[in-house]
Structure 1
Amino acid sequence: MKRRIASIIGVLALSALVFTGCGEDSTVSKVGTAPDGSEVAIEKATIKYMDDTVKGGYKTVSTEELNKWVEDNKDMVIIDTMPSDNFSKGHIPGAVNAELPKTGMADATDEQKEAFIKLLGSDKSKTVVVYCGFVGCARSDVGAVLAKEAGFEEVYRVPGGGVAWQEAGYEVEK
């Protein structure tokens, strides 16, 4: 009888772990990555991001790794592709601003392209990091593609952009 009760308690404990998100905070009622529970939207943005990265021929750097680069004063150019009013509210330390269209390369004007390329400088071996607001934002893809087309070798895009940077609690510059 005691063995049977112990087995039932074990099954209930295991079930509790499984149904609460594999041991994550049980006070959180949602399951998944999206704050609003829309895992489909995150999946869609992730697939597009991955496809853009392959097509664009650039690399990805995580928010955490970029923070290490910033702390280590890595020789790089960081470009925030959001509108200037967003940039002025807070950006990754050392970043410069070049607004690019959120709808993609087809909507980038010659002036935007030229301004972006000018910020890259002339050293094609220098690391270029491009970011925008969040995973589903296409502005950073436009910048990464422009940098690759201009002949830059080490081009990185930050998936979570400025939102992930701030959510991680890293320093922002104003």
Structure 2
Amino acid sequence: MSIWWSLHLRREAASVPLARRLLLGAMETAGVDPDISFDLSVALSEACANAVEHGGYGEPGAASESAAMGFRVTAFLDGERCRIEVTDSGPGFPSRRGRRAAAHQVRRQASPSAESGRGLCLIEELADHVDFCNRPGRGAMVRFDKVLKWREDALLSLG
């Protein structure tokens, strides 16, 4: 059995915990190990926060067309893997080389007390596979996946 869901959310800070809670609820109900659920929920929160901050042209939460367009979160639990995609309508990432260099720079220079600037690196650390890509003329996409572990009392078998 496979489970998937998709949300279209406004570029507002309140959208981030909504997406996170939905993911945690679905994984709890399915019987996914809490540590795996937590890692995926933190990665999702970082991807959503990035979409809220950078995913449109104009200020987040503004009454602009890009804020109204928002961003989309799609999650797939299929077999032994969970894949999450967050897509937005913003300008996209810098070139792949630039993004990799930027991620490396953040790892080297972000202070422990910094409140921003490490989201992409966190996603890379928490997931098994990560892909950041531009959708020409349509924004950016962050896609990540992780192999699932199940609780002993899991009610749902996705195999």
Question: Aligning the two structures, in what range does the TM-score lie when normalised by the shorter sequence?
Answer: under 0.3
TM-score scaled to structure 1, two decimals? Answer: 0.26
TM-score scaled to structure 2, two decimals? Answer: 0.27
Structure with larger Rg: 1
Name the one with the larger strand percent.
2
Q: Which has the higher contact order (CA 8 A, sep 6+)?
A: 2
Name the one with the larger helix percent.
1
